[in-house]
Amino acid sequence: MSTITNDDLERQAPLSVSSSATSLASTITPTPDKESELQEKFRVSFGHDDPENPMNWSRAKRWYITMFAGILAVNSTFSSSAPAGIIQELIEEWHMSSEVATLLISLFVTGYCVGPLLWGPLSEQYGRRPIFLISFFGYICMLIGCALAPNTGALLAFRFLSGVFASCPLGNSGAVIADVWDVGTRGKAMSIFALAPFAGPALGPIVGGYMHVAGVHWRWLFWVLTMFAAVCFVGIFFTLPETYSPTILARMAAAKREQTGDIRYYAPIEQTETTWKAQIYNIVGRPFKILFTEPMLIAITLYMSFIYGCMYLLFEAFPIVFTVGHHFNAGASGLMFLPLFLGGVFGALVTLFYSNPRYQRLMEEYSPNPVPPERRLGMALVGGPMIVVAFFWFGWTSFPEISFWAPMMSASFLGCGIIFIFLPLMNYIVDAYLRVAASALAASTVVRSLFGAGFPLFANQMYEKLNPRWASTLLGCIALLLVPIPFVLIHFGPRLRMKSKYAPTHVPTLASSSPSPSR
């Protein structure tokens, strides 16, 4: 509904009044304070223990929403890597080069660069639920296009569009979790959800590989993905309520206006007027303006993007080591990704049962001040060296004469290290850029997706020309150069935040927010 203006209210008044009435009206014109009180009277908001407030829903309902949001993210990322198991079949049937076949993964992840800039702002304008429904419907249509693609060009185009529509859960599922949980419990929920973006890529090659081994035509992989997306679409339609509070309040305000006939009732989101130029700037301009002017964000984004790119690079490196070197079939080669998933599970459990309780103690310790963002980075100090060890371990145990268990288990270190790096750094972005966190995360997501799309394109050539030992050593050395980033942020982060234009000024430094001696 459009914003209520003074003209709307004036049209409800009598068309003509006497001069005495006009004089009287001028003497009783509300003061600014009274106008503010009147406006506040008709402002629709949640009451205490309001059942419409998502944070007041039952814990069972909120945990279901959390788990379902995670499944939606798994759906998206599972689809990104599943074609890794059928690439060889496509090369044989359509005589495409290995570089073109790799685009099946890279173009899908490239869609992640476009989607978050679209679905996030739209969900903040129209609500989470309708955007999930629209995006998953488009996702299903694009998957059907992949299954029926008549040639390479059509298949690649549909893969890119699938990535655009499938990217919705990557940002909006996390937003749904933030909608329904308070700060104290949100860490637990996010620890579970954080596993989803890495579980999908790890499990996708296993399914795709064994479908190839079973002799199932490659088109059936996309039909399976279509059915998975359709099940999620039905789940969204029947079980996922609207969780975005401003949209819920707008719905309550509309119901209030209809019940009372008084058009003065309003929700805050209905009073927001934004031009299309401002919307385009918020979607495209502001995220990258923040990124390119914030040294902290540049460093964090670079670190996360490199790790994310390396994860997708493994879809080309693992077949070289296990399919070519150890002569595994596509199904067994896909199983080599399982330790990546299990390592991520272990990392999520450590975060859930160690890091989150520790952070809750810090909240009590620093109260009433907020906990400094740098306190989030403890696990990243461990995750960085784990990534380095994982690459050296994988590289120098990749000889065919060495048991496959040695390079396979290196992925467990990689999966755990990824969780230890991603969760702290993402939380740091939210805490440090509180007022513009959505824009900061959007810019970081786009750059990270570019790395994820680009790394597989050169992985095959790099591992063949340098061999798996030296290629992995190169990646390990780059990871080693990035290890100091969390250490630097812990020591210089408070100073950098004080100089930042976007970091909230009320967030104290480590020194100013340290607990008092009485505690």
Reduced to 3 states (helix: H, G, I; strand: E, B; else coil), residue 43 is strand
3-state helix, strand, coil in the chain (%, to 5): 80, 0, 20
What is the predicted pLDDT for the residue at 21? 40
62-90: string of b/e by CB count within 10 Å (b at 16+)? Answer: bbebbebbbbbbbbbbbbbbbbbbbbbbb
pLDDT level of residue 460 (50, 70, 90 thresholds): confident
State how far Cα 472 lies from the chain centre: 28
Residue 185: predicted pLDDT: 77
Query: Is pLDDT of 12 > 70?
Result: no
Cis (ω within 30 of 0) for the bond into 385?
no
Instruction: Name the band, by pLDDT with cuts 50, 70 and 90, for residue 41.
Output: confident
Reported as a single tens digit per residue, the pLDDT across 407-443 is 999 999 999 999 999 889 988 888 888 777 777 877 8
Would you state the pLDDT for residue 158?
96
Rounded CA-CA distance 181/188 in Å is 10
Question: Would you state the pLDDT for residue 79?
Answer: 93
Say whether pLDDT at 193 is over 90.
no
**Positive or negative torsion for Cα 391, 344, 120, 376:** negative
Tokens of 95: 């005589």
Distance, CA of 473 to CA of 176 (rounded, Å): 40
Q: Which two tokens stand for residue 108?
A: 């899908």
Per-residue pLDDT tens over the stretch 128-145: 999 999 999 999 999 999
Matching fold, domains 39-272 and 274-500: yes
pLDDT at 298 (0 to 100): 93
**Spans of all domains in the chain:** 39-272, 274-500
Helix axes 437-465, 98-126, angle to 10 degrees: 170
pLDDT surpassing 90 at residue 85:
no
* pLDDT-wise least confident of 43-47, 60-64, 201-205, 266-270: 266-270
Give the residue with greater pLDDT, 471 vs 366: 471
Q: Which of 338, 341, 429, 335 is nearest to 380 (CA)?
A: 429
- As given in the structure block, the two tokens for residue 506 are 């009320």
Dist. CA 136–CA 130, nearest whole Å: 10
The residues that bridge with 43 in the sheet, in sequence order, are: 266
Angle, helices 59-81 vs 128-147, to 10°: value is 30
pLDDT the model gives residue 509? 43
pLDDT band, residue 18 (cuts 50/70/90): very low
CATH topology of domain 39-272: Growth Hormone; Chain: A; (1.20.1250)
Burial readout 330-341 (b: 16 or more C-beta within 10 A, e: otherwise): bbbbbbbbbbbb
More confident residue, 438 or 376: 376
Q: Between 286 and 19, where is the model more confident?
A: 286
219 C-beta neighbours (distance < 10 Å), count = 14
Q: Which of 206-220, 265-279, 475-489 is predicted least confidently?
A: 265-279
Full-model pTM = 0.81
Of 14-18, 127-131, 249-253, give the lowest mean pLDDT range: 14-18
Helix, strand, or coil (residue 215): coil
At the second CATH level, the architecture of 274-500 is: Up-down Bundle (1.20)
Confidence band for 382, pLDDT divided at 50, 70 and 90:
very high
Pick 38 or 54 by higher pLDDT: 54
Could you report the per-residue pLDDT of 19-38, keeping only the tens digit for each? 444 443 444 455 556 656 65
Confidence of residue 397 (pLDDT cuts 50, 70, 90): very high
Specify the pLDDT at position 472: 95
Q: Determine the 3-state secondary structure of 211 from DSSP.
A: helix
The rounded mean pLDDT for the chain is: 84
Res 42 pLDDT > 60: yes
Provide the pLDDT confidence category of residue 463 given band limits of 50, 70 and 90.
very high
Residues 6+ apart with CB under 8 A from 150: none
pLDDT at 506: 46
pLDDT at 46: 86
Q: Which residues pair with 266 in a beta bridge?
A: 43
* CA neighbor of 187 nearest in space, from 177, 172, 196: 177
Q: What percent of the chain has pLDDT over 70?
A: 87
Q: Which residues of 21-56 are buried (b: 16+ CB within 10 A; e: fewer)?
A: eeeeeeeeeeeeeeeeeeeeebebebeeeeeebbee
CB burial class (10 A; 0-12, 13-18, 19+) of residue 373?
buried
Q: Is the dihedral of CA 450, 453, 457, 458 positive or negative?
A: positive
Q: For the segment 152-161, what is each residue's pLDDT rounded down to a tens digit?
A: 999 999 999 9
Mean pLDDT of 218-235: 96
**pLDDT greater than 50 at residue 517:** no
What does the pLDDT read at residue 226?
97
Mean pLDDT calculated for residue range 207-232? 92
Sequence length of the chain is: 519
Which range among 24-38, 234-248, 277-291, 505-519 shows the weakest confidence by mean pLDDT?
505-519
pLDDT confidence bin for 2, thresholds 50/70/90: very low
